[in-house]
Structure 1
Amino acid sequence: MSSFRERWNVCASNIARRTHNPIRSIVENIVVEPNPNKPMIALSIGDPTTFGNLKPPKEVIEAVQESVASQLYNGYAPSTGYQRAREAVAEYSSNEFVKVDPKDVILCSGCSCALDLCITALAREGQNILIPRPGFSIYRTLAEGLGITVKSYDLRPELGWEIDLDDLEAQIDESTAAIVINNPSNPCGSVFSRDHILDILDIAARYYVPIIADEIYEHMVFPGRTFHSLASLSTEVPILSCSGLTKRFLVPGWRMGWIIIHDRQNVLEIEIRKGLHCLSQRIIGSNTIIQGALPAILGQTPQNFFDDVIHTLHSHSKLAYSCIVKIPGLKPIMPDGAMYMMVYIDLPCFPEFNSDLEFVQRLLMEESVFCLPGQTGNHGTVQHARGSLSKDSRILRETSL
């Protein structure tokens, strides 16, 4: 019996070949070795647990322990999540401006999974989505793997990293399927004003483009600034809001995120809502143990825990700024939230370097300090570096000095 194949020829799929995460590639594959005489200080990945100084509260740990001990959450849940868990997210996400119905909540395996489902549901191969520059590289990774074109709109550092509205509008065309808005911002730490969000919504409404709102840092806002969710100000534009436990509760490895469908005009009612439900069946639901703990996690974590985390991150940002601003050629931009700081690198002050990547590599090689270069992925705005503010103050002081 003859074979229609004469040799092994196993090729990767188009999605696999097109998928690339530049941050992970740099972090995991960088060839430069740190200084063996200095301890490694990793400020590259946005993991607040890395150095052990930021930990979830006992109420959160106890909620998971009780979920495990109950033996009620060892099986499969509905693909969009247990009703009780979705009710907890709906209550947690509701306020005087927005009332969330549990039917509008889809639980996911982390916020990145929520973003993946939203991009996949809204955009088809050959269409495009708009993403911020500088911005979180996962948007590009997810879209390009699916054959979706990515177009970037600029953020303006001189205006606290607000969106360049003219540039945003200029990027929209007949193939634009969605706009990704990240507020508060990774990597910039910006928090948009109410008026700025209204301007963004006005553009989206005029061109009939839905918004994917990456709001994972929604509660991580420093004193003096106020977070306004896109859904709280939108009367016309449909919003798919993505968030989760990862950052605020200091548990990125627990992989619990969610999508909230905000659709006051029922624009997404049939195809997109059904599409999101179908896509959730591909992941067969999110972590059931954490789902079982969600009502207690979201309802019983004391406010003073959140206040302490914000105080810590704000103090770290002020410390890092006060140290770095004294260094000739480096210009830190004070964040208003999240857990990062962008630092402008005035390359003429460092003639031995041709790019921010070379600067970051030398910093790792000589000082064992690892930051992300601004050109990584869709950080885009070259001559910047991003550092995480989650490390303890002693380490940040050593890094800056």
Structure 2
Amino acid sequence: MPPASLKTRARLSEVRYEIRGELARRARELEGQGRQLIKLNIGNPGAFGFRAPEHLQRAIAGRIADTDPYTHQQGLPAAREAIAAQHRLRGTPHVNPERVFVGNGVSELIDLSLRALLNPGDEVLLPSPDYPLWSASTILNDGRPVYYRCAPENGFLPDPDEIESLISPRTRAIVLINPNNPTGATYPRELLERVVAIAAKHHLLLMADEIYDSILYDGATFQPLAPLAGDVPCLSFGGLSKVHRACGWRVGWAVLSGDPLASGDFHHAMDLLGALRLCANVPGQFAIEAALHGEDTIAPLCAPGGRLYEARRAVIDSVAASEHLELVAPAGALYAFPAVTGAAAHGFDDHGFALELLESEDVLVVPGSSFNVPYRNHFRVTLLPQPDDLREVFARIERVLQRRAEAATASRVAVA
């Protein structure tokens, strides 16, 4: 008699993370066969030759002898003070080191914060498209994602009136991702002020995923949410992974601002959950002060002539030259989110396209529907490869889309 199948949690069937999912597994199989792939599915700077800045590496190396013990569950005191100091410079109210939480990347802190907040059936307002970890963490903490649209025709910016219309008695939080992953949109102050007013009116927690805060192009600006939130409880997320190109160090933080009396119970819940995992990775925390108050190494990469700027320009130019693509140019972050249009979009399925692109052209992208949108004509690429590599990628994408457009046109002619 065969052994009984080991059952897993039922809610896992609702969770999607295609960034490292089925297509990525197929890519590994192809690499095992000796295929050379261009993988644009993950915003992982180190995989594309970027290095964490040397002054951050030295900060860790100089304190390596002090990294053996556990530290406080909320993080090293000096690291939390450096994070609090950055937020004070931004004008964040009610911020001090006791309200800073250091985690094993922002991903862990998103999960911990939702676990601290949600009861079964509680709702979280999430952007569509979203970074799918937010949806997954909401579901796995027994909550319900409710999506507000960030439509391409509106530059991927949300409509505050729609956000408010989605609020129910079970709504607990509004999540904003700014600069946005996957679209690269950056949110203007006036829009953020309207969202703050909605959160204040309905007594909701604001959750601001600001991991890409300094990755900006062509004069785009970043407006942090916490200074606008004032006394409204706000949890702001940042880290070393993207701006400082240190994904593998797994160093993220969350800063709780707003009226301390209104968020005291939530603070204690976060502290308890942090204690249950003992503490975050210690060595990387010694780089936080140098990262936040030392040399700015990201701005040159985002300025004309800088590698990220020129990679972004290669994508914009390639889309402009395409017969089959449109793009809202990303103002920030590390991604572009092109749309397939015209004849190539007839009967288009983003997952099928991504699989064909992988199998026939050795390029791995992420289907747009993986980011919890109702349409299926987008895909995401990262801006981390060299500009010439991105031009080659889009030449391959154009070949696939041209074949699809020709097949769609031939099909329509045959029917006629």
TM-score w.r.t. length of structure 2 = 0.87
Structure 1: distance between partners of 2:361 and 2:74? 46
- Taking only the aligned residue pairs, the percentage that are identical comes to 27
In structure 2, the residue matched to 1:74 is 68
Deviations 1:312-358 (A, max 9, x none): 3222112211112211121122000001001011264354x531111
The 8 Å contact of residues 33 and 364 in structure 1, kept in 2 or not, is answered as no
Q: CA deviation at 1:115?
A: 0.9
Quick one: which of 120, 134, 141 aligns to 1:146?
141
Superposition misfits of 4+ residues, deviation over 6 angstroms: 35-38
Quick one: which of 36, 43, 48 aligns to 1:39?
36
In structure 1, the residue matched to 2:301 is 309
Report the secondary structure of 2:47's partner residue: coil
Alignment of 1:273-284 (within 5 A): 273-284=267-278
Structure 2: distance between partners of 1:399 and 1:349? 17
Distance 1:363 1:20, change over 3 A: closer
Alignment of 1:256-295 (within 5 A): 256-264=251-259, 266-269=261-264, 271-295=265-289
Q: 1:307 corresponds to which letter in structure 2?
A: A
Structure 2: distance between partners of 1:350 and 1:28? 24
The 8 Å contact of residues 16 and 370 in structure 2, kept in 1 or not, is answered as no
Q: CA deviation at 1:294?
A: 2.6
Q: 2:256 corresponds to which letter in structure 1?
A: I
In structure 2, the residue matched to 1:250 is 245
Structure 1: distance between partners of 2:159 and 2:219? 23
Distance 1:179 1:350, change over 3 A: closer
Structure 2: distance between partners of 1:117 and 1:33? 34
Quick one: which of 98, 103, 120 aligns to 2:92?
98
TM-score w.r.t. length of structure 1 = 0.90
Distance 1:27 1:8, change over 3 A: closer
The 8 Å contact of residues 67 and 290 in structure 1, kept in 2 or not, is answered as no
Aligned-pair RMSD on alpha carbons? 2.3
Matched, 1:299 2:296: no
In structure 2, the residue matched to 1:370 is 364
User: 84-93 vs 327-336, which deviates more?
Assistant: 84-93
The 8 Å contact of residues 138 and 145 in structure 2, kept in 1 or not, is answered as yes
Q: Which protein has the bigger helix share? A: 2
The 8 Å contact of residues 187 and 386 in structure 1, kept in 2 or not, is answered as yes
Matched, 1:59 2:51: no
Structure 2: distance between partners of 1:297 and 1:93? 14
Q: CA deviation at 1:307?
A: 1.7
Deviations 1:156-200 (A, max 9, x none): 212221102232122210001111111110000000011111111
The 8 Å contact of residues 118 and 212 in structure 1, kept in 2 or not, is answered as no
In structure 2, the residue matched to 1:172 is 167
In structure 2, the residue matched to 1:228 is 223
Deviations 1:186-218 (A, max 9, x none): 000000011111111122222221111111111
The 8 Å contact of residues 177 and 209 in structure 1, kept in 2 or not, is answered as yes
Structure 2: distance between partners of 1:43 and 1:395? 11
Q: CA deviation at 1:96?
A: 4.7
Distance 1:96 1:339, change over 3 A: closer
In structure 2, the residue matched to 1:28 is 24
Structure 1: distance between partners of 2:74 and 2:10? 28
Structure 1: distance between partners of 2:99 and 2:210? 16
Quick one: which of 235, 238, 242 aligns to 1:240?
235
Distance 1:24 1:400, change over 3 A: same
Matched, 1:384 2:378: yes
Quick one: which of 369, 394, 401 aligns to 1:400?
394
Structure 1 unaligned residues grouped into runs of 5+: 1-6
